[in-house]
Amino acid sequence: MPIQDNQVVTIQYNLTDADGNLLDTTYEEGPMEFITGSGELLPKLEAEIITMPLNGKKKIVLQPAEAYGDYDPEDIQVVKRDELPDDIELEIGTELLAEVEEDAEEELSCFISKIDGDEITLDFNHPLAGKSLHFEVELTGMRPATQEELEHGHVHGDEEFE
């Protein structure tokens, strides 16, 4: 029987790309907790996890369309160094927030993908766009979310697990 919404689910996982390169893991920093039905996880990933039994393990593969979408080469912008704030560390992979329009409240996330002299290439694609994601997931705990957690939309504290 699938896990219902409003449950705190605890998982451990390894995330690799199609070539087996480790992209992320919880085994070094500790497990991940999320509230089912809250939109914290990629929908397809959550749909697969909620069918797992407690202490079960599962391999889950998400194609780009089920994860962060296809890589769009149009979502690149080259700017001059002097267009960026002076305090930004210029390294490939540095994440930035860019204003959509001057004096606009909306910002888009991007990262530095290339540095060529005074030209800085900003990539507005998600870093995992265009990649199939390979998860090895272990469901290690679940419990009902507290009212406070539901109101705040995230997990609090170390509660007892069923």
- Residue pLDDT, tens place only, 93-135: 999 988 766 655 678 899 999 999 999 999 999 999 999 999 9
Both 63 and 107 in one domain: the answer is no
Which CATH number fits the domain that encloses residue 45?
Answer: 3.10.50.40
Instruction: Give the tens place of pLDDT for each residue, 68-92.
Output: 999 999 999 999 999 998 888 899 9
Domain assignment present for residue 23? The answer is yes
Asked whether residue 38 carries a pLDDT value surpassing 50, the answer given is yes
The boundaries of the domain holding residue 85 are 76-123
**Count of domains observed in the chain:** 2
In a domain, 26, yes or no: yes
Confidence class of residue 13 from pLDDT cuts 50, 70 and 90? very high
Can you give the three-state secondary structure of the chain, one letter per residue? Answer: CCCCCCEEEEEEEEEECCCCCEEEECCCCCCEEEECCCCCCCHHHHHHHCCCCCCCEEEEEECHHHCCCCCCCCCEEEEEHHHCCCCCCCCCCCEEEEECCCCCCCEEEEEEEEEECCEEEEECCCCCCCCCEEEEEEEEEEEECCHHHHHHCCCCCCCCCC
> Does a structural domain hold residue 114?
yes
Confidence class of residue 158 from pLDDT cuts 50, 70 and 90? low
1 occurs within a structural domain: no
